[in-house]
């Protein structure tokens, strides 16, 4: 059956239904990151609103019939009014209907952000909240059903409940929206609200759903072998642990065929290096080169763990380079726990100390060699002396 | 540095002045005031310090007085490798010129010359120390603070054999101190920045806790809302169920109500029939009671009538007995009255006789008293006329004894006559009669003459002669005395006196007797009372007989009267006994009569009442019987009994039907359902209200952006924590560095003290004694001086000693510094506080010091420095 009003949905002459839609989740609107300065935080927040608009653009470009947001559109039910208002404003730019499923971050409880006056007042008409299990025929022949979270800590994942209730979908194509972690990705498989991957596969097998769109995992991920169960991931990265965040999924259902295409959306990167060995001047230089080479610095968050041992002079040089770099990156989290300072004679040779200052240096070095709590203080004291001396010279 | 030549011109009040200095020794510049000595000392500082164009007050101050010219200063000196001449003119045509001759020639003018000169100075010596070591007039006592003088330090280092100090190290220490000072006060207390960082962190933590609290409340409200919504659903369901139950129970209740109504109706009818029966029974009983009452009244009346007759007869008998008793009593009463009269008369008779006797006795007593009183009056008269009382008698008897004594003497010393009686015979001696018994011997003295006569027979006169004259006169005197006494007593001789005395005694006894007689006879009466009684009795006693009835006749005497009275009294007593008996009989009879009389009256009254009652009862019964016969009541009772039986059966039937419905259970269930429903409704309303409140709170707080606020607060905590950690770390580093560096620096400084101390003590021992020692502090100042093994703090020393020690201290410094960098010491009139002895010793000190450093002394007291040894003298 032809459906000229709905882009991306069509009924072919053969009578087989074809639909294309955009699957996204975990917008985490209102998310903040403690390692951001105020200005960076604002840019980061704005990036998430921009992501909505880009999704809208992709939906248009990819001729999608609608957009599914599978939970955690908001970081919390207690987000600021401004966040809600800016979300609604961004949603206006999405040209197709948007179906939003409440997730564990924004459950549909009494404090739900979707019940807030700001959202109620400013929500565009083409935005719909999936607030119960009832099926929606969003285009003739296409049934959409979702399992919204009603509380933060349900005993059973709503999706499993929904799938248990659902009968085989005969005569229409059914898309199911769900939210929560699948047992394959969590060590605590018995935890409440964990979704059984096999249950999802069974639902597909039993004809209860043509596609199950999932949210919660921030990296785009296919579940099972059917190719009909997917996490879209978050459109904009939120953490270092994400393997493949910053994507949306354009899904095309065409009879028995299904094509899920990963489309890049995100602008921000979280880079973590857990062990950077620094022992010599060359190491410091190489590390600095790498720092310089990182692209898109203003939207990149670094977390680096430095290790090794440097002389005071090299350490001071490293600090200088880090200080210069820190201004360029959006976030700059450097751990020095495994990097030790090793004062050497050479560190002080140029200073020409011969009197009490020289003796001071010797005593501080003795402290460092003795180790213990005072060693760190002595290192700092030596660094300070070095800094003051350079200033004095 | 060594000064070679110094010149000033147009300088303050000095036109021109120039001195040449001994470049390695002592130069004494002497001259009066205002020749420019002080100016010369001051000029070197001004020369190096200020450019020629300076308007500084110090420069303005050196303008010449009354002269329009610029002050000029010129110094020729050596410093380090440099030898130079430096000239400056200020104010007027200002000019600066520096000519360096060694190590290589240089010529500079203007500002360039000024800067180059300062450069040379800074390069080769410590300007501060140089200034400090220049002793100015008036502040000579102060010790300069040398702790920061690097020239001195360098020299001291050398002297101590240590490694020379580096100026850079001092600079580093200052920076370290400044860094330490960023975090800690001078006393080592934390500064505000550290505290604030900590407080900031605490505040940030508190803010996070506050927001988390708010979020927690929101979560609780969210949970509450979910719980309330669930509860409300359950409540609505329960309400519907309860309403249904209630409706069913109400239907049953309506049936029960109908049955109850039936039971109630039948019960009412039964009650009515029962009431009718009771009424019929009551009516029947009342009729029976009425008949019985009439019968009773008749019976009572008959019984009382019989009783009335008996009481009437009894009363009659009692009345008769009373009359008899009355007659007997009247008779006894007459007898008693007669007996009383006779007894009274006999008593009066006895009293008469008794009074008569009394009259006689009282008259006798009065008579005795009157006689005694009369005798006493006579005796009193006797005593009044008789003067011989006991004393008069004793006087007389004394005179008599004296007379007899002298008479005896006369008789002893004079012839005597012895008479011996042969037979009793009366004789007369002189004129006195005497008697002599047979065998009686009586010796008579013859004082002068004695005449013894035997009456009528012989008369013998014996004469004594002239030898007894004196005795005779004594006898005459005694006689005269006796006579006088007798005359005074109114008697003729002692014998009459003795008689008179007896008479007087007798009279006294009479008087005493009167008292006794009065007492005995008056007893408890006065004489007047006694007399009155006698008078009264005299009047009354005779009257009794006159007035007395003639019959019966009066008894003969008192005894008979008493007997008659006693007999009459016995008769009277008997009559009284009889009378009392009669009276009691009468009272008894009267009591009996009165009792029966009262009883009879009562019977009569009761009889009348019963009669009346009987009439009434009878009348009442008659009337009732006229209205309804006795049989009609019995019929009514039977009819009513039948009705009660019938209605009771109806009630029992209805109650059995009601019981089958179990009304109590149905009602209890309905009541429970009703209250449960009400309770559920109330709870639903409360839950609704609570839900509304929770939702309102959620609405208000849910959109406050607590999520972002929490993140912001956590970010602030991280920032504050990092800042606090960083500051603490920096502070700890600064403290450790400062502490260690200060310790090391103090140690190094202590090394400087030894050479300075050694120089001071070497010079000082020239002034003080061999035990002289000083203690040098960390700041390189003298702390105390020890001399003669006594240690005194510097500040407690005398002005002179302080001045000397300060000078020695400066000399010691200059001596040390001179070897290394060259430091001339300029003294401007020092040692003003020192006494001549000390001045001499200080001269030796200066001379010794001058061998090691350049010294320039300006003075207007050259004498003070007479003992400074080899010195270049410059006179101004």
Span A35-56, pLDDT tens digits = 787 788 889 999 999 999 999 9
Radius of gyration for chain A, computed over Cα atoms and rounded to the nearest angstrom: 28
Q: Residue B127 above 80 pLDDT?
A: no
Whether A158 and A114 map to the same domain: the answer is: yes
| pLDDT grade for A112, boundaries at 50, 70 and 90 | very high
DSSP state of A379: H
Radius of gyration for chain B, computed over Cα atoms and rounded to the nearest angstrom: 88
A44-53, A140-149, A380-389: lowest mean pLDDT where? A380-389
Q: Residue A11 above 90 pLDDT?
A: no
- What is the average pLDDT across B163-171? 65
Whether A238 and A299 map to the same domain: the answer is: no
- pLDDT one-digit tens code per residue, B500-551: 899 888 888 988 888 889 888 888 888 888 889 888 888 888 888 888 888 8
- pLDDT one-digit tens code per residue, B283-339: 889 888 888 988 888 898 888 888 888 888 888 888 899 999 999 899 899 889 989
- What is the average pLDDT across B658-677? 88
Instruction: Give residue B553's pLDDT.
Output: 85
* Closest partner CB to B705 (pick from A79, A150, A360): A79
Instruction: Give residue B137's pLDDT.
Output: 45
ipTM over 0.90: no
Among left, alpha and beta (phi > 0; psi -120 to 50; other), residue A146 is beta
| pLDDT grade for B98, boundaries at 50, 70 and 90 | very high
Q: Whole-angstrom Cα distance, residue A368 to residue A361?
A: 11
- pLDDT one-digit tens code per residue, A202-219: 999 999 999 999 999 999
For residue B726, the number of C-alpha atoms closer than 13 Å in the C-beta half-sphere is 6
A54-63, A230-239, B163-172, B674-683: lowest mean pLDDT where? B163-172
Task: Give buried/exposed letters for B809-844 (b at 16+ CB in 10 A, else e).
Answer: bbbbbbbbbbebbbbbbbbbbbbeebeeebbebbbe
Among residues B473, B371, B351, the alpha carbon closest in space to that of B413 is found at B473
Q: Residue A32 above 80 pLDDT?
A: yes
Residue A327 domain boundaries = 269-392
Whether A226 and A303 map to the same domain: the answer is: no
> How many A-B residue pairs are in contact by the CB < 8 A criterion?
155
A269-278: strand order across its sheet = A269-278, A300-310, A331-341
A381: chain B residues, CB-CB within 8 Å: 733-734, 736-737, 740
Higher pLDDT, B246 or A348: B246
| pLDDT grade for A134, boundaries at 50, 70 and 90 | very high
Backbone angles phi, psi at B129, to 5 degrees: -65, -40
Whether A96 and A152 map to the same domain: the answer is: yes
- What is the average pLDDT across B403-417? 76
| Long-range CB pairs of A9-12, under 8 A, 24+ apart, other chains included | A9/A65, A9/A139, A9/A142, A11/A141, A12/A255
- What is the average pLDDT across B230-242? 92
Q: Tally the domains of chain A.
A: 2
Whether A214 and A89 map to the same domain: the answer is: yes
- pLDDT above 90: percentage of residues in chain A: 55
Task: Suggest the residue from A357, A366, A378, A380 to mutate for an interface test with chain B (most B CBs closer than 10 A).
Answer: A357
Q: Whole-angstrom Cα distance, residue B202 to residue B216?
A: 20
Instruction: Give residue B86's pLDDT.
Output: 93
Residues B865 and B846 sit within 8 Å (Cβ to Cβ): yes
Is A379 a domain residue?
yes
Is A328 a domain residue?
yes
DSSP state of B443: E
* Residues β-bridged to residue A309: A340
Is A4 a domain residue?
no
Instruction: Give residue A393's pLDDT.
Output: 40
| pLDDT grade for B144, boundaries at 50, 70 and 90 | low
Higher pLDDT, B40 or B302: B302
A172-186, B69-83, B221-235, B830-844: lowest mean pLDDT where? B830-844
Q: Please list, in sequence order, all residues whose beta carbon lies within 8 angstroms of the beta carbon of residue B263, skipping any fewer than 6 positions away.
A: B651, B654, B655, B658
The domain boundary residue, chosen from A241, A264, A287: A264
Whether A252 and A307 map to the same domain: the answer is: no
- Average pLDDT of chain A, as a whole number: 88
| pLDDT grade for A383, boundaries at 50, 70 and 90 | confident
Is A354 a domain residue?
yes
Instruction: Report yes or no: A46 at the B interface, CB cutoff 8 Å.
Output: no
Q: Whole-angstrom Cα distance, residue B617 to residue B290?
A: 7
Is A3 a domain residue?
no
Instruction: Give residue B385's pLDDT.
Output: 86
Whether A285 and A239 map to the same domain: the answer is: no
- What is the average pLDDT across B67-80? 88
Which residue on chain B is closest to A381 by alpha carbon?
B733
Neighbouring CB atoms inside 10 A of B718's CB total: 14
Q: Residue A12 above 50 pLDDT?
A: no
For residue B434, the number of C-alpha atoms closer than 13 Å in the C-beta half-sphere is 16
| pLDDT grade for A17, boundaries at 50, 70 and 90 | low
Instruction: Report yes or no: B171 at the A interface, CB cutoff 8 Å.
Output: yes
| pLDDT grade for A392, boundaries at 50, 70 and 90 | very low
Whether A192 and A243 map to the same domain: the answer is: yes
Instruction: Report yes or no: A378 at the B interface, CB cutoff 8 Å.
Output: yes
Q: Residue B138 above 50 pLDDT?
A: no
- What is the average pLDDT across A332-339? 86
Q: Which of A98-112, A351-365, B771-785 ranks highest by mean pLDDT?
A: A98-112
Higher pLDDT, B556 or A38: B556
The domain boundary residue, chosen from A248, A264, A280: A264
Which residue on chain B is closest to A380 by alpha carbon?
B733
Taking 3-state DSSP, the helix, strand and coil percentages for chain A, each rounded to the nearest 5, stand at 35, 25, 40
- Average pLDDT of chain B, as a whole number: 85
* β B825-828/B855-859 pair status: parallel
Whether A59 and A183 map to the same domain: the answer is: yes
CATH number at residue A51: 3.60.21.10
- Put simply, the answer to whether B166 touches A353 (Cβ < 8 Å) is yes
* Residues β-bridged to residue B108: B98
The domain boundary residue, chosen from A231, A264, A297: A264
Residues B45 and B134 sit within 8 Å (Cβ to Cβ): yes
Instruction: Give residue B778's pLDDT.
Output: 67
* Residues β-bridged to residue B723: none
Instruction: Give residue A369's pLDDT.
Output: 84
Whether A215 and A276 map to the same domain: the answer is: no
| Long-range CB pairs of B441-445, under 8 A, 24+ apart, other chains included | B442/B418, B443/B411, B443/B416, B443/B417, B443/B418, B443/B419, B444/B411, B444/B416, B444/B417, B444/B418, B444/B419, B445/B407, B445/B408, B445/B410, B445/B411, B445/B412, B445/B414, B445/B415, B445/B416
Instruction: Give residue A144's pLDDT.
Output: 95
* Closest partner CB to A360 (pick from B163, B706, B744): B744
A189-193, B154-158, B368-372, B506-510: lowest mean pLDDT where? B154-158
- Which class for B734: exposed (0-12), middle (13-18), buried (19 or more C-beta within 10 A)? buried
Among residues A86, A225, A213, the alpha carbon closest in space to that of A162 is found at A213
> What domains are defined for chain B?
2-189+743-875 (3.40.50.300), 390-489 (no CATH)
Instruction: Give residue B386's pLDDT.
Output: 85
A8-12, B194-198, B515-519, B865-869: lowest mean pLDDT where? A8-12
Instruction: Give residue B34's pLDDT.
Output: 72
Is A57 a domain residue?
yes
- pLDDT above 70: percentage of residues in chain A: 94
Instruction: Give residue B855's pLDDT.
Output: 85
Which residue on chain A is closest to B695 by alpha carbon?
A110
Whether A65 and A134 map to the same domain: the answer is: yes
Residues A195 and A157 sit within 8 Å (Cβ to Cβ): yes
* Closest partner CB to A32 (pick from B168, B711, B741): B711
Q: Whole-angstrom Cα distance, residue B649 to residue B655?
A: 10
Tokens linked to B131: 């200034």
Is A1 a domain residue?
no
Smallest Cα distance from B179 to chain A, Å:
9
Token look-up 């101590």 returns B160
Whether A260 and A289 map to the same domain: the answer is: no
- pLDDT above 90: percentage of residues in chain B: 14
CA distances from B81 to A252, B84, B100, B105, B131 (A): 95, 10, 10, 12, 21
Task: Suggest the residue from A39, A48, A78, A116 to mutate for an interface test with chain B (most B CBs closer than 10 A).
Answer: A78
Is A2 a domain residue?
no
């Amino acid at each position: 059956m032809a459906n000229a009003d709905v882009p991306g949905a069509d009924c072919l002459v053969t009578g087989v239904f074809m639909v294309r839609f955009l699957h996204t989740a975990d917008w985490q609107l209102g998310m903040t990151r403690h390692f951001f300065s105020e200005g960076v935080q604002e840019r980061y927040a704005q990036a998430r609103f921009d992501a909505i608009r880009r999704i809208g653009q992709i939906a248009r470009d990819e001729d999608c019939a609608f957009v599914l947001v599978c939970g955690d559109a908001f970081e919390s039910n207690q987000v600021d009014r401004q966040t809600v208002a800016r979300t609604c404003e961004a949603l206006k730019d999405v040209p197709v209907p948007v179906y939003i499923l409440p997730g564990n971050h924004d459950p549909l409880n009494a404090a739900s952000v979707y019940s807030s006056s700001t959202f109620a007042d400013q929500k565009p008409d083409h935005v719909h909240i999936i607030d119960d299990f009832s099926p929606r025929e969003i285009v003739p022949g296409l049934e959409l059903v979702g399992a919204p979270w009603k509380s933060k800590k349900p005993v059973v994942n709503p999706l499993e409940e929904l799938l248990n209730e659902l009968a085989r979908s005969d005569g229409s194509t059914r898309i199911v929206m769900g939210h929560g972690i699948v047992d394959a990705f969590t060590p605590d498989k018995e935890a409440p609200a964990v979704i059984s991957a096999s249950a999802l596969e069974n639902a597909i097998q039993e004809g209860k759903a043509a596609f199950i769109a999932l949210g919660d995992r921030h990296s785009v991920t296919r579940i099972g072998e059917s190719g009909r169960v997917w996490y879209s991931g978050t459109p904009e990265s939120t953490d270092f642990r994400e393997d493949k965040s910053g994507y949306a999924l354009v899904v095309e259902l065409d009879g028995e065929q299904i094509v899920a295409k990963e489309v890049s959306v995100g602008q921000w990167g979280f880079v973590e290096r857990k062990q950077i060995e620094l022992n010599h001047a060359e190491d410091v230089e190489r590390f600095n080169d790498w720092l310089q080479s990182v692209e898109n610095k203003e939207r990149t968050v670094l977390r680096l763990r430095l290790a090794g041992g440097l002389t005071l002079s090299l350490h001071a040089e490293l600090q200088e380079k880090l200080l210069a770099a820190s201004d360029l990156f959006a976030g700059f989290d450097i751990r020095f726990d495994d990097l030790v300072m090793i004062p050497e004679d050479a560190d002080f040779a140029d200073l020409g100390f011969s009197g009490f200052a020289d003796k001071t240096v010797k005593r501080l070095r003795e402290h460092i060699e003795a180790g213990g709590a005072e060693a760190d203080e002595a290192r700092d004291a030596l660094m300070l002396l070095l800094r003051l001396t350079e200033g004095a010279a | 540095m060594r000064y070679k030549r110094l010149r000033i011109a147009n300088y303050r009040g000095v036109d021109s002045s120039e001195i040449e200095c001994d470049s390695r020794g002592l130069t004494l510049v002497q001259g009066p005031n205002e020749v420019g000595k002080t100016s010369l000392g001051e000029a070197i500082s001004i020369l190096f310090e200020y450019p020629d164009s300076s308007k500084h007050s110090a420069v303005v101050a050196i303008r010449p007085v009354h002269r329009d010219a610029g002050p000029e200063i010129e110094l020729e000196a050596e410093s380090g490798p440099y030898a130079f001449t430096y000239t400056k003119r200020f104010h007027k045509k200002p000019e600066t010129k520096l000519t360096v001759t060694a190590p290589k020639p240089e010529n500079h003018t203007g500002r360039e010359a000024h800067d180059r000169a300062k450069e040379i100075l800074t390069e080769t010596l410590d300007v501060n120390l140089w200034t400090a070591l220049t002793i100015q007039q008036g502040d000579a006592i102060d010790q300069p603070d040398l702790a920061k003088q690097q020239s001195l330090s360098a020299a001291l280092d050398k002297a101590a054999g240590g490694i020379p100090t580096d100026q850079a190290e001092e600079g580093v220490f200052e920076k370290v101190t400044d860094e330490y000072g960023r975090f800690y006060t001078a006393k080592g207390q934390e500064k505000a920045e550290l505290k604030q960082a900590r407080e900031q962190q605490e505040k940030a933590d508190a803010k996070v806790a506050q927001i988390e609290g708010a979020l927690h409340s929101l979560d609780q409200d969210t949970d509450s809302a979910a719980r309330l919504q669930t509860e409300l659903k359950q409540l609505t369901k329960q309400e519907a169920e309860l309403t249904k139950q209630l409706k069913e129970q109400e239907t049953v209740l309506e049936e029960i109500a109908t049955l109850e109504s039936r039971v109630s109706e039948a019960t009412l009818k039964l009650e009515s029939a029962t009431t009718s029966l009771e009424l019929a029974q009551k009516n029947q009983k009342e009729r029976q009671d009425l008949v019985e009452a009439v019968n009773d009244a008749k019976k009572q009346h008959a019984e009382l009538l019989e009783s009335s007759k008996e009481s009437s007869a009894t009363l009659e008998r009692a009345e008769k007995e009373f009359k008899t008793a009355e007659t007997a009593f009247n008779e006894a009463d007459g007898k008693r009255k007669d007996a009383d009269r006779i007894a009274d008369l006999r008593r009066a008779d006895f009293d008469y006789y008794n009074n008569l006797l009394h009259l006689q006795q009282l008259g006798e007593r009065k008579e005795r008293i009157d006689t005694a009183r009369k005798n006493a009056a006579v005796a009193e008269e006797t005593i009044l006329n008789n003067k011989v009382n006991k004393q008069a008698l004793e006087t007389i008897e004394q005179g008599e004894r004296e007379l007899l004594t002298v008479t005896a003497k006369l008789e002893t010393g004079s012839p005597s006559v012895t008479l011996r009686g042969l037979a009793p015979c009366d004789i007369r001696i002189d004129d006195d009669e005497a008697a002599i018994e047979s065998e009686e011997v009586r010796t008579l003295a013859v004082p002068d003459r004695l005449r013894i006569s035997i009456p009528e027979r012989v008369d013998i006169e014996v004469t004594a002669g002239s030898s007894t004259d004196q005795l005779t006169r004594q006898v005459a005197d005694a006689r005269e005395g006796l006579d006088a006494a007798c005359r005074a007593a109114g008697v003729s001789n002692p014998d009459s006196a003795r008689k008179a005395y007896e008479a007087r005694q007798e009279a006294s006894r009479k008087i005493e007797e009167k008292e006794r007689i009065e007492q005995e006879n008056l007893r408890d009466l006065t004489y007047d009372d006694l007399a009155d009684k006698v008078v009264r009795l005299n009047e009354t006693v005779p009257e009794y007989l006159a007035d007395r009835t003639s019959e019966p006749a009066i008894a003969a005497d008192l005894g008979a009267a008493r007997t008659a009275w006693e007999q009459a009294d016995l008769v009277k007593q008997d009559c009284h006994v009889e009378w009392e008996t009669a009276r009691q009989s009468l009272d008894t009879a009267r009591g009996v009569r009165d009792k029966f009389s009262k009883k009879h009256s009562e019977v009569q009254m009761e009889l009348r009442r019963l009669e009346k009652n009987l009439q009434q009862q009878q009348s009442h019964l008659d009337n009732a019987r006229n209205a309804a016969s006795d049989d009609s009541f019995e019929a009514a009772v039977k009819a009513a009994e039948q009705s009660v039986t019938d209605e009771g059966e109806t009630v029992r039937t209805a109650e059995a039907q009601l019981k089958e419905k179990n009304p109590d259970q149905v009602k209890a269930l309905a009541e429970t359902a009703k209250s449960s429903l009400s309770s559920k409704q109330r709870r639903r309303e409360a839950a609704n209200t609570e839900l509304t409140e929770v939702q309102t709170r959620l609405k208000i707080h849910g959109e406050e952006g607590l999520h972002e606020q929490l993140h912001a607060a956590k970010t602030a905590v991280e920032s504050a924590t990092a800042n606090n950690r960083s500051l603490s770390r920096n502070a700890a580093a600064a403290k450790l560095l400062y502490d260690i560096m200060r310790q090391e620096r103090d140690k190094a400084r202590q090394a400087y003290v030894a050479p300075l101390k050694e120089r001071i003590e070497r010079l000082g021992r020239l002034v003080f004694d061999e035990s002289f020692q000083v203690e040098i502090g960390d700041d390189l100042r003298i702390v105390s001086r020890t001399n003669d093994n006594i240690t005194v703090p510097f500040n407690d020393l005398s002005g002179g000693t302080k001045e000397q020690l300060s000078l020695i201290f400066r000399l010691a410094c200059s001596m040390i510094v001179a070897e290394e960098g060259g430091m001339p010491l300029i003294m401007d009139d020092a040692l003003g506080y020192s006494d001549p002895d000390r001045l001499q010793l200080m001269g030796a000190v200066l001379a010794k010091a001058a061998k090691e450093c350049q010294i320039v002394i300006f003075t207007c007291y050259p004498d003070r420095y007479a003992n400074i040894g080899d010195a270049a003298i410059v006179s101004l």
